[in-house]
Chains A and B, each alone.
Chain A
Amino acid sequence: MNLPEQSRDVDGLSAVALDRLLADVAAGQEPAAGLGSLYAMLRAASGPAEPGAQPGESAALAAFGQIVPVRRMRRTPVRWLSESKTRLAVATGAGVLFLGGGVAAAATGSLPDPAQGAAHAVLGAIGLHVPDSGGDNGSPGNGTSGTAPGQTGAHPSPRPSGSTGKPEHPVHPVLPVHPSMPPQSGHSSHPTPAATPTHPVATPSHRPSPLPTLHPHNH
C-alpha cells in the first residue's frame, strides 16, 4: 500500500525527517535545520517535571500502604555482597584468616625462606618466636622440638648440602597441611542467601504480564 505521507514530502516535512526529529527529541540532540521550533515544543512537552513531590503523591502513597503489603525481600548473592555490613564482615573474616594463617605458617616454619626470615624478624620484634629461614629449632609451636631439622618431613626446609654448602630443596618433600587453609566446614556455616536466588529483577518482556482490561476505542 502506498502511503504518500511516508514516501514524499508533505508541507515540506518528509516522514524520514519527522522520524529523525522524534529520535532527536528523545536523545536531546540538535534537530535538523528548519525544525528548531517544533523540536523545542516537543522537548518542552517531554521535559522533566519539577523535582520533588508530584501532584497526587500523598493519595498514591496512602493507596500504596493499603494495597501493597510489606514483605521481606530475599537477598540474592549480589544484594548480599552489596550490603555494607556484610562486606565488612567478609573482609574482616578474610583478613583474620589470612593473618592467622600466615602467623601459624610462620610458627611452624612452613613459609618460604624469604618470607620465613621476614616473619622471624617481624614477629620476633613483638615477642613472638618463630623459626628463622635457616631451620631454627626449639621454637614453641613448630612441633619438631628435639628432632633434627629436616628429619621430620614436616617442612621442606633447605639444608646445607655437604658438598656445595648451598641450600637445596629436599628431593621428596612431604607437604604439610598448610595452616592458612580455612576449614572446609567454614563454608557450610556461612549464611547462604544464594541458596534460593530469586532476584526480583524484572524479566524484560515486550509486554508486561498483568495487563488490565483494555477497551481500545477506535476514533
Chain B
Amino acid sequence: MDDFPDVLARAQHGDEAAFTVLFRTMQPMLLRYLTVLAGRAAADDLAAETWVGALRGLVKFRGNESDLRGWLITIARARWVDSVRAANRRPEELTDAPPDLEAPDDVAAAVVERAAADEALALIARLPAEQAEIVTLRVVAQLDVAEVAEITGKSANHVRVLCHRGLRRLAQLMPSASVMPALATTMDET
C-alpha cells in the first residue's frame, strides 16, 4: 500500500473509509493465519476479537505496514491462546487435527485443480502445529524471521529450522509432477 501512512493516519482520526482500506488489506492475512491455527470455524470469531483489540490501540499505533501486520498477528495469537486456555485444551490438539479441513489427499488434489488459498492453507495445516504456524507467518503474513521469533517467543534460529522442516514436509505433500502443468497454468492466471 503506497499511501499507508496517510491511510493509517486518517483511520486513527476516525475516517471509516480509511479503516475499511486497512481492514480489507489485513483481514485476509489474519483469517488465513487463524484458520491454520484454529480451523476455519473459529477463525472468524477470533479475527473479530482481534479487530476489537486492535481498534482499542489503533490511535496509539506507530509503525509501517509490516509493523501493523505483526501487531495484528500478535493480538490474534493472544486471542487464540486465550481461547484455547479457556477451553482447557492444548493448542496442539486444535492444530494437529483441524476439525474442518479436508483429508490431505483430497486437499492436495484441490490445490492442483483450483490453486485456491483455502486449499493451500489446509495443506499447511497438516504440518505439525509449530511448523504450520511459522510457515504461515513467513509466507502468508510475510513477516521476517526476527518478527516471527518475537511473536512466537522462539529464537531466530529455531524459527528458521522449523520453517525449513515445514517446507520440506510440504514438498513431500505436494502432488506429483504429472499434474504440474495444470497447477502452473492456474497460478499464471492469478
Contacts and interface: CB of A to CB of B under 8 A. Distances in A.
Are both chains from one complex? yes
Interface of A: 1, 3, 5-6, 10-11, 13, 15, 18, 21-22, 25-26, 35-38, 40-49, 52-57, 59-61, 63-65, 67-73, 199-219
A70 B13 contact: yes
Nearest to B111: A41
Contacts of A207: 63, 67, 70, 150
25 contacts: A3-B157, A5-B164, A5-B165, A18-B164, A22-B138, A22-B167, A41-B111, A44-B115, A45-B120, A48-B190, A54-B31, A55-B44, A56-B31, A63-B52, A68-B12, A71-B14, A204-B67, A208-B62, A209-B61, A210-B61, A212-B57, A212-B75, A214-B74, A214-B78, A219-B130
Interface residues of B, number: 93
A204 B187 contact: no
Given A63-B51, A64-B19, A45 B74 contact: no
Q: Which 9 A-B pairs have CB atoms at the shortest separation, nearest pair first?
A: A216-B153, A70-B14, A49-B28, A200-B9, A210-B57, A45-B120, A44-B120, A201-B5, A208-B63
A26 to B, nearest CB: 6
Contacts of B160: 6, 15
- Classify the secondary structure of B's interface with A: helix
B121 interface: yes
A60 B16 CA distance: 10
Contacts, number: 234
B151 to A, nearest CB: 8
Interface of B: 4-6, 8-16, 19-20, 23-24, 27-28, 31-32, 44, 47-48, 51-53, 55-64, 67-68, 70-71, 74-75, 77-78, 81-82, 84-85, 91-92, 111, 115-117, 119-121, 123-124, 128-130, 136, 138-140, 142, 146, 150-154, 157, 160-161, 163-165, 167-168, 170-172, 174-175, 177, 180, 183-184, 186-187, 190
A41 B59 contact: no
Contacts of A212: 53, 57, 74-75, 78
Contacts of A46: 117, 139-140, 142
A10 B168 contact: yes
Contact of A67 (B47, B56, B77, B85): B56
A13 B171 contact: yes
A51 B121 CA distance: 19
Nearest to A78: B6
B9 A15 contact: no
Nearest to A205: B63
A211 B62 contact: no
